[in-house]
Amino acid sequence: MLLSEDDAIVLADWDADGAVSAAIFLYLQTAEIFPKRKKLNVVLNPSNPREAIKFLSSVIGCPSYVAMLDIAFVPELLNAIKTFKEKCPSTDLIYIDHHFSTLEHLGELRPYLSRVRVGGSKPTSMHLADIAHELEKPLPERLEVFARAIGYIELGRKPPEDMMSVVSLVASIARALKLERDSKFWDKMVKWLSSPLPIPMSKADLEILNKVSEEAKKRDEELEKAVDDLTIGAQKVGCFKFIDARKRWKRRGVSSLATKLSRKMRSPVALLASIKDGEIMVVRTRNNAAKLIAEELINEGIATDVGGHSNIVVIKLKQGYNIEKIKQILVRSCRYVS
């Protein structure tokens, strides 16, 4: 991709938080308020960390800036940022995120960034909404409401009655973005959200949402059945319910399964599962204890990688890990769980 100083790149996660973040960012740039007070051609691209690395390596030329929104830190991304900055020293690099892995490695990232805003207490889209408010640039009502809805979803809080329908719509869009992984649909959602005009969704987009709603309903039924089955075999490990699903759940959606199990049993949960390239443990708590447990597993050499948020983490386990050692750490960690 050949770019110049008249162009800008926005890389944002595939999920609803990433899409709404990209929409707020696009709205502010189109208004020539943030981050540049001039007209730019903005290239949007949905990206997880690995896709962001690949995209950065494919860029030819040096754009005005590259913004990375709601993209969790991985070590390989830092290397890609270093390489890109060496090639394009005049390009501003902007990082806005809420994943704790980014917060943990902020000191390593900061020397290469022109602008940075990282905090784990709220979703990335709410950080962008805060930026808009600080700049005294009101967001279009649709975009403002969607950002608020993301807050309820990401933080696991019950929305007020007047927000229920919006939260439901945002949840449907989130599922569509996650299940379809269609870059054209993602791009259309971002541009629809960023428009200040009251444009309705197209018929094709509504058809995608309806299709995804049907698929999501079937998936929820599968999850509920799995929750009922797995609850029976749950072990009490300190204050946690420990569930070994390695032989009983080999599909996507382990984080959703852990969340549903936690709600069903009204308890923090540690869920073991198999994925195609190894085994993971998802820890779900009501506070930031999940993050602290992940850090201890890394320090003990039991885990190799961690993703997620402060209250739900996906921990990649090292081959040959000791399951009893993990249980001991969970018991010790109960002092963090409120």
The CATH number of whichever domain residue 281 belongs to comes to 3.10.310.30
pLDDT at 258: 93
Q: Could you tell me if 92 and 56 lie in one domain?
A: yes
CA quadruple 61, 40, 177, 113: dihedral positive or negative?
positive
Residue 208: the pLDDT is 72
Residue 67 β-bridge partners: 10, 94
**Residues 15 and 77 occupy one common structural domain:** yes
Question: Residues 164, 232: one domain?
Answer: no
Q: DSSP letters along 149-163, please?
A: HHHHHHHTPPPPGGG
Task: Please give the share of the chain, as a percent, with pLDDT higher than 70.
Answer: 99
Q: Which residues of 176-190 are buried (b: 16+ CB within 10 A; e: fewer)?
A: bbbebeeeebbebbb
Task: Note whether 228 and 193 are same-domain residues.
Answer: no
Greatest alpha-carbon span in the chain: 60
Q: How many domains does the chain have?
A: 2
DSSP-derived secondary structure letter, 138? P
Query: What pLDDT, in 10s, does the model give residues 153-184?
Result: 887 778 899 899 888 888 888 877 877 788 98
User: Residue 15 forms beta bridges with which residues?
Assistant: none
Question: 57 phi and psi, to 5 degrees?
Answer: -75, -20
Are 30 and 135 found together in one domain?
A: yes
Q: Is residue 172 part of a domain?
A: yes
- 212 in a structural domain: no
Give me the domain span that covers residue 240. Answer: 222-336
Which is more confidently placed, 62 or 206?
62
Range name among 231-240, 263-272, 284-293 with the lowest pLDDT average: 284-293
The CATH number linked to 137 is: 3.40.50.2300
Residues 145 and 230 in one domain: no
- Residue 215 lies inside a defined structural domain of this protein: no
211 inside domain: no
% of the chain exceeding 90 in pLDDT: 65
Rounded to whole angstroms, the Cα distance separating 239 from 251 reads 27
Q: Which two tokens stand for residue 247?
A: 């032989």
pLDDT at 311 (0 to 100): 83
User: What does the alpha-carbon distance between residue 295 and residue 302 come to, in Å, rounded to a whole number?
Assistant: 10
| Statement: residue 253 has pLDDT above 90 | no
Looking at the structure, do residues 29 and 129 belong to the same domain, yes or no?
Answer: yes
127/85 same-domain check? yes
Domain assignment of residue 205, yes or no: no
Instruction: Give the C-alpha separation, 47 to 240, whole Å.
Output: 34
pLDDT at residue 60, as a whole number = 95
Q: Residue 268: which of 250, 244, 247, 285 has the closest Cα?
A: 285
Same domain, 18 and 104: yes
The pLDDT, as a whole number, for residue 285 is: 93
pLDDT interval class at 249 (50, 70, 90):
confident
Q: How confident is the model at residue 200 (pLDDT cuts 50, 70, 90)?
A: confident
Over its C-alpha atoms, the chain yields an Rg (Å, rounded) of 21
> Does the pLDDT value for residue 70 go beyond 90?
yes
Domain-ending residue, one of 135, 168, 199: 199
Average pLDDT, the chain: 91
Average pLDDT on 229-242 reads 95
Q: Is 207 inside a domain boundary? A: no
